[in-house]
Amino acid sequence: MKISAKEIASLVRTLSKTANKPHFTSAIIAAAGSGTRMCSEDGTTKQLLTLCGMPIIVRTLKAFEECEHINEIIVVAREDEIPVYEKYKTEYNLTKITAVVSGGSTRQESVLRGFEAISDKSEFVAIHDGARCLITPEKIDSVLAETYRCGAATAATRATDTVKRANSKNYITETIN
């Protein structure tokens, strides 16, 4: 079957309109982890640790707050840390946080609880680990633009480190390209 240039142009225009149409987008920030591998001296969870004068979770939340495509933020937190997020909302002017809900016993259960709190207007949902604070509003917007165009997308960074494959005895068998 041959497709004419006119048909291709029409398809591109249609896809472009869909990709550029404003969509109500919710963000679920999973921050209910215990951070047991972090081993902080005072028992502070990873997301509440301070990095360069600001809690790690606040850095994450600010990136989503500053993202033009995000309409609401749902934080899934540890039950005992929920009051901290109410304080952060005011202290850091986090106006897009519409709910802070208690997490579950697994990450999957926590994200489900976040889904249960999103707005009925939500068309798309971004899910992000609250302790991953190096995300930028530009990267979020970029991933969401692809999501609107394709239906789903994820952020990824090409590995620059050397990756080795090992056998069952943990002997290196090859360097992966």
Q: With CA atoms as reference, report the closest residue to 58 among 91, 100, 101.
A: 91
Q: What is the pTM of this model?
A: 0.77
Per the DSSP assignment, residues forming a β-bridge with 126 are 27
CA–centroid distance for 55 within its chain: 17
Per the CB < 8 A criterion, the answer to whether 30 and 128 are in contact is: yes
In angstroms, the CA 111 to CA 31 distance is: 10
Neighbouring C-beta atoms of residue 10, cutoff 10 Å: 11
pLDDT digits (tens, 9 = 90+) for 10-50: 656 555 555 556 899 999 999 887 655 554 565 667 677 77
CA 154 to chain centre: 9
Q: Name residue 101's amino acid.
A: V
* In contact, 124 and 118? CB cutoff 8 Å: no
**Is pLDDT above 60 for 124?**
yes
Class of domain 22-153: alpha beta
Does the structure show a pLDDT above 90 at 101?
A: yes
- Which H helix or E strand runs over 124? strand 124-129
Q: How far apart are CA 176 and CA 159, in angstroms?
A: 11
Confidence of residue 151 (pLDDT cuts 50, 70, 90): very high
